[in-house]
Amino acid sequence: VLVGLEQDLSGGLLAIASGGDLFLLDSGSGKLVGRLSTLSGFSATPAVDGHTLYLISNEGFLYRVQHFR
């Protein structure tokens, strides 16, 4: 189940939250460049502020991925 999708405005990465995982994909090639797994999963769309991505897990933890580009 796809929870959310966010794209870095510079066109560098796509962030896809699906189930218990956050996938970071190169927006040009579609290649997986990063992955974050949680036990509880995500239920909110990722948010981007500049080059930082924020995502809240179902456990209530706030995850921050810096230099998101």
66 strand-pairing partners: 52
Q: Which of 2-6, 8-12, 28-32 has the lowest mean pLDDT?
A: 2-6
State pLDDT tens for residues 15-38.
787 778 888 888 788 888 888 888
Give this prediction's pTM.
0.67
Helices (H) and strands (E) in the chain, counts: 0, 7
- Cβ neighbours for 1, distance < 8 A, ≥ 6 positions apart: 18, 19
